[in-house]
Amino acid sequence: MKIAVGSDHAGYELKQRLAQVLQRQGHDVLDLGTHGTQSVDYPDFAGAVAGAVAGGRAERGLLVCGTGIGMSIRANREPGVRAAKCNDPLEARMARAHNDANVLCLGARVLDPSVAEELLSLFLSTPFEGGRHATRVAKLGAV
């Protein structure tokens, strides 16, 4: 799977760790920055990842900032993107199973890195259930 990844300065180290995990699992990683720990504006990187997913350059996206909140707000402004900020395994599974989320947003300041790895794994391995959820997801795009 091709996965676009991005972070701000607060999420840089966790993004790097998760990108390596993705590569070891055989995924194609499209790293859209940032590429260091110098202060940057998170909306720039959230927009780049969301645009890659919406434009079909990546099947899924991963965004990491301090809390995951700002990234999710910006990513969800892109038509066709369903970004989910997740903090626990249930949220990661349900984001995919019920909401067909295509971008995972994580907070480097609020998650242990091993938990972040677990959430990413669940997010990528959980299929969308469709059915009654498909009608609801379609309404998200109509807003």
User: What SS3 class is residue 103?
Assistant: strand
Contact 103, 109 (CB under 8 A): no
21 burial (CB, 10 Å; 0-12 / 13-18 / 19+) is middle
- Integer CA distances (angstroms), 1 to 24, 74, 82, in order: 12, 23, 17
The closest alpha carbon to 60, from 40, 83, 91, 44, belongs to: 83
Nearest to 4 by CA among 36, 13, 15, 14: 15
If phi > 0 it is left, if psi is from -120 to 50 it is alpha, else beta; for residue 121 that is alpha
Confirm whether 35 is a catalytic residue. no
- Annotated active-site residue in 27, 35, 98, 133: 98
Please list the active-site residues. Answer: 98
